[in-house]
Amino acid sequence: MLGIALSALFVKYIVKDDISHGVTKILFAISQRKSIIKVHNVWSSVIGSSLTIGFGGSVGAEAPIVLTGAAIGSNLARLFRLDQKTMMLMIGCGAAGAIGGIFKAPIAGLVFTLEVLMIDMTMANISPLMISSITATVFTYLFSNSTPMFELVTIQPFQLYRIPIYLFLGVICGLVSLYFTRGMNWLEDKFRLIKQGWIKVLVGGLTLSVLIFIFPPLYGEGYDSIVSLLNTDGTSTLTHSPFAMLPYSVWLLVGYLLLIVLLKIVASVATNGGGGVGGIFAPSLFVGCLSGFVVAKLLTIVGLDAPATNLALTGMAGVMAGVMHAPLTGMFLIAELTGGYHLLLPLMIVSITSYMTILLFEPHSLYAMRLAKKGELLTHHKDRAVLTLLKMENVIEKDLRTVTPDMTLGELVKVISESNRNIFPVVSNDGKLLGILLLDEVRNIMFQPRLYKRFTVEQLMNSPVALLEDTMSMERVMEIFEDTGAWNLPVVDSEKHYIGFVSKSKIFNSYRHVLVHFSED
């Protein structure tokens, strides 16, 4: 509770900005903020996560470190006045270096950037990403050591007859990932309903404290518990827990670990929702390890050959692949964390099976789903990516002459003579759009002076086939153009005040410009 309170005070009074959901912020910056990340993110996430995790917060330090690396890349690019495409790549380099450095896993750093941050896989991008990831890993070797995180883990060799077991584990990991994703979103929404900061700290701190008292493995990032499960039979996880007073049995251990799997998201959301700063990288590895270990124990009970260490490691890759929608990241990260590729085939099987399982229910990762719902997510789908990078304010044309409904035909002819456009928005005195008037509609009567006072604009105007709102995504705008067959549509705000027009030709020109700019190697 003290750590959560200190983090909340730090964020509120020193940072004065939201620094949670680090990877989501990077995705938002790439797609919506021209790859600009605020300067304070270079240091604020590190301090906030240190306070949170140092006092036992049940979250990971990886997402804050990734945001820090990305912020360094973004602000270096701004310092040297680099273009937006290079700024995006610099963000990727910072993120790749962060993952490579913290896990001593350079390949995982590279593929994380390609899979999760949606940086295009071209040689022009891969080379600097690889250099950044390798450099950060070597830097960690110099100031720490070169031993992998799980170096002493004993891994059994791959056997063909275990393939069905790994397929089964992959499906389980996909379902666990689905629970992790939806459960975390639901709990975060509940925490947002609490408006007072001190009540959030109290609720989050008390919830986490009670959970840690009953389930000590929920304390901190959980890497100590992961090492225990990979090297022992798991009984050490019961130490200091009230469950340790019960007579030991394998069913007690399995039930205990299953409860921890279910409650880990509660502990993580209580930490972040209460005011702490941390990510879901470590929690997903933790839940994956426990899930794999539990599956191994249950399969062993029914008489199958299921090595607990192998399944615990592949379970980590499976849940990470499902939660992040990043099978390559999960596969290579676990391979590098163990210092070898003895489990490469099982890791591939579990990761891709988990990813395909969750894909049936959730098309986007936990990081990306909120942005995807708003149409603000940059993806590897070229058409959608370009439309995401296009902004409504850049394609709105405001050089059209407006007319009022009480204007006579004679007054309208005078406006037409002074304009070089053939569309005239009809607006009220308070600026609201009432309709549109096309030059073609009045061409046959505009040269008859005797009619100049007989007709008014209100009699001649038509309703537009559709209205665009200034907050719409470009993907939605293009859908409306396709549905209506129109070439020009008016843009209004939420209260129907006229803003301007968008033409399909203007969108096509901007679309081609963005596509060419971001496709140059």
The per-residue pLDDT for range 129-162, each reduced to its tens digit, is: 999 999 999 999 999 877 888 876 778 888 999 9
> How far apart (Å, rounded) are the C-alpha atoms in residues 515 and 77?
21
What pLDDT digit, counting tens, does each position of 310-345 carry? 999 999 999 999 999 999 999 999 999 887 678 899
Of residues 160, 152, 164, 149, the one with CA closest to residue 316 = 149
The CATH class given to the 160-380 domain equals mainly alpha
- Report the pLDDT averaged over residues 466-486: 82
CATH for the 385-519 domain, from 1.10.3720.10, 3.90.1150.10, 3.40.50.2300, 3.10.580.10: 3.10.580.10
Q: Compute the residue count for the chain.
A: 521
Highest mean pLDDT among 84-88, 155-159, 272-276 belongs to 272-276
Neighbouring residues of 454: CB distance < 8 A, sequence distance ≥ 6: 409
426 forms beta bridges with 403, 435
Phi, psi of 402 (to 5 degrees): -90, 150
What pLDDT digit, counting tens, does each position of 106-122 carry? 999 999 998 888 776 67
Give the torsion sign (CA, 207, 209, 210, 211). Answer: positive
What pLDDT digit, counting tens, does each position of 344-357 carry? 999 999 999 999 99
- At residue 469, the pLDDT reads 86
Note the pTM of the prediction, 2 decimals.
Answer: 0.77
Q: Please, how many CA atoms are within 13 Å of residue 499, restricted to the half-sphere of its CB?
A: 18
How many Cβ atoms from other residues are within 10 Å of residue 134's Cβ?
17
Count H helices and E strands in the chain, helices first: 23, 5
- Where do the domains of the chain lie? 2-143, 160-380, 385-519
Q: Would you say 409 and 460 are in contact if contact means Cβ atoms under 8 Å apart?
A: yes
Q: Would you say 201 and 280 are in contact if contact means Cβ atoms under 8 Å apart?
A: no
Does 389 score more than 70 pLDDT?
A: no
